[in-house]
């Protein structure tokens, strides 16, 4: 954060300042909602959550260096604070004010699958020409996104991941972020308990356009049947199957877990030998989105190619870990039917050497009334791939196991939870195996990655 005074905070969140007026012109250096990471000249936003109430830590935050507290409650006289009706809303309003004050471009990325990997790739391309800031970790929701914006200092481009689970949430995020470039990666089977079906997902995701103007650029995946019909602001389409997409790929060479290479066409111009150092056909889509952004921002071809080549994996997302015993495909951060099938495709194409291709799969959450059928579709997908061993963990994953052909071709193991599997891992796994690890975040498959990485 840079050049924001306490007086501006009061104005931005329509609050009431309680403290010495001499503080109003002082600048602040950061905004946090966790009192444990407060530093000198920071603002602490006291938020009441499910497990704790930030107001309890207001005094300790000031002692740790906080210049002012944003609070829904009256605080003691020795704590300078801004009284507001809603602390979360105040945080959002301050972030919106700061975004409008600063002259940086915002690229907003949403979609059912691939938000994080697309964000990483787009940021890598942008960083070849501009000072670039990007969403860190999972700071992509109604609290994380404003905190991300408030971390920006003198960066020229900010790449935001925008995650939602219900109607209206994207409207809120778009109001705060006001993206100059909007990217939607795909419309899949996510959060169906709240969004109903893919039509509902499309409606919720396209709320990203709610605060767009005539200059807002829209980048969409034309191979997605729900997005191909979107016409808002004459989108720049990208794709693999649809060769009439303005940005499209051809001559794709899959190098297994070493990555993927292709030629890209931008209009009638060709970018030869685009090298993505991470595996999977889905990475081609991410790269095409990055190429589209690079062209819109006037980044030279050589720099776009370098940005893609310099891409680094993020833990829990298509991350290759090589140990003395195994090769792990760490994709444990989250899962839905589309991303799980894509991960299985990566495993199926991997060179297994003298080992086996092993899929350690867990439950996928928030799939609504058809959750059993979606899990069965994973087993049916595995039947068509080159997989040697499948480990199914969790109550829903028994549906994956039941759909796998009961032949000697694929060995199937079932466990009720992560700990049960880890107790028997040495009976299931062999040295030299290449192992995919994937499930919804709540399954805590990170524990499996950590255990097998030792």
Judged against a pLDDT cut of 80, whether residue 406 lies above it is answered with no
User: How does pLDDT run across 411-421, given as a tens digit for each residue?
Assistant: 999 999 999 99
Q: Rounded mean pLDDT of 52-80?
A: 96
Under DSSP, is residue 17 helix (H, G, I), strand (E, B) or coil? strand
Under DSSP, is residue 247 helix (H, G, I), strand (E, B) or coil? strand
- At residue 1, the pLDDT reads 87
Bridge partners of residue 436, in order along the sequence: 329, 359
- 359's torsion region: left (phi>0), alpha (psi -120 to 50) or beta? beta
CATH 3.10.450.50 fits 4-87, yes or no: no
* Of the candidates 92, 94, 71, the residue with the CA atom closest to the CA atom of residue 83: 71
Question: pLDDT band for position 409 (50/70/90)?
Answer: confident
Report the side by side order of strands in the sheet with 42-45: 16-18, 81-83, 68-71, 42-45, 30-32
Q: Rounded mean pLDDT of 248-262?
A: 96
From the number of C-beta atoms within 10 Å of its C-beta (0-12, 13-18, 19+), residue 261 rates as: middle
Contact 187, 227 (CB under 8 A): yes
In angstroms, the CA 100 to CA 84 distance is: 21
User: How does pLDDT run across 28-45, given as a tens digit for each residue?
Assistant: 999 999 999 999 999 999
- At residue 246, the pLDDT reads 98
Instruction: Specify the length of the chain in residues.
Output: 454
Bridge partners of residue 158, in order along the sequence: 106, 133
Q: Rounded mean pLDDT of 183-190?
A: 96
Q: Which CATH number describes the domain made up of 319-453? A: 3.90.190.20
User: CATH topology of 4-87 equal to that of 102-309?
Assistant: no
Q: Which CATH number describes the domain made up of 102-309? A: 3.40.1190.10
Phi and psi angles of residue 130, each rounded to the nearest 5 degrees, phi first:
-125, 155
User: How does pLDDT run across 95-110, given as a tens digit for each residue?
Assistant: 999 999 998 999 999 9
User: How does pLDDT run across 374-393, given as a tens digit for each residue?
Assistant: 999 999 999 999 999 999 99
pTM listed for this prediction? 0.93
User: How does pLDDT run across 191-236, given as a tens digit for each residue?
Assistant: 999 999 999 999 999 999 999 999 999 999 999 999 999 999 999 9
Give the start-to-end residue ranges of the domains of the chain.
Answer: 4-87, 102-309, 319-453
């Amino acid at each position: 954060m840079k050049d924001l005074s306490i007086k501006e905070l009061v104005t931005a969140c329509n609050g009431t300042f309680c403290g010495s007026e001499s503080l109003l012109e002082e600048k602040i250096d950061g905004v946090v909602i966790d009192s444990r990471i407060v530093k000198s000249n920071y603002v602490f936003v006291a938020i009441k959550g499910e497990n704790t109430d930030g107001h309890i830590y207001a005094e300790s935050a000031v002692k740790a260096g906080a210049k002012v507290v944003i609070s829904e409650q009256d605080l003691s006289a020795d704590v300078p604070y801004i009284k507001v009706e809603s602390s979360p809303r105040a945080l959002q309003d301050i972030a919106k004010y700061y975004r409008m004050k600063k002259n940086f471009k915002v690229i907003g990325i949403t979609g059912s699958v691939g938000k994080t990997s697309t964000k990483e790739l787009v940021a890598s391309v942008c960083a070849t020409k501009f000072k670039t800031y990007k969403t860190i970790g999972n700071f992509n929701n109604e609290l994380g996104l404003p905190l991300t914006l408030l971390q920006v200092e003198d960066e020229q481009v900010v790449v935001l991941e925008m995650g939602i689970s219900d109607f209206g949430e994207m409207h809120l995020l778009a109001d705060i972020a006001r993206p100059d470039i909007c990217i939607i990666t795909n419309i899949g089977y996510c959060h169906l308990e709240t969004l109903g079906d893919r039509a509902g997902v499309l409606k919720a995701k396209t709320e990203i356009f709610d605060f767009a103007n005539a200059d807002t650029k829209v980048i969409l995946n034309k191979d997605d049947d729900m997005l191909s019909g979107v016409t808002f602001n004459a989108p720049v389409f990208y794709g693999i199957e649809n060769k009439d997409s303005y940005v499209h790929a051809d001559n794709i060479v899959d190098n297994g877990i070493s990555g993927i290479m292709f030629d890209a066409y931008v209009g009638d111009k060709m970018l030869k030998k685009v090298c993505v150092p991470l595996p999977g056909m889905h990475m081609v889509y991410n790269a095409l989105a990055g190429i589209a952004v690079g062209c819109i921002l006037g980044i030279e071809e050589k720099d776009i190619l370098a940005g893609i080549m310099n891409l680094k994996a993020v833990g829990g997302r298509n991350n290759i870990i090589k140990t003395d015993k195994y090769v792990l495909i760490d994709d444990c951060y989250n899962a839905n039917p589309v991303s799980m099938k894509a991960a299985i495709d990566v495993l199926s194409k991997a060179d297994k050497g003298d080992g086996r291709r092993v899929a350690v799969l867990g439950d996928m959450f928030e799939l609504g009334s058809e959750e059993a059928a979606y899990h069965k579709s994973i087993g049916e997908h595995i039947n068509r791939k080159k997989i040697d061993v499948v480990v199914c963990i969790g109550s829903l994953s028994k549906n994956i196991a039941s759909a796998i052909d009961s032949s000697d071709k694929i060995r199937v193991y079932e466990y009720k939870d992560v700990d049960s599997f880890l107790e028997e891992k040495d009976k299931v796994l062999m040295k030299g195996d290449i192992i995919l690890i994937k499930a919804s975040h709540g399954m805590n498959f990170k524990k499996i990655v950590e255990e097998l990485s030792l």
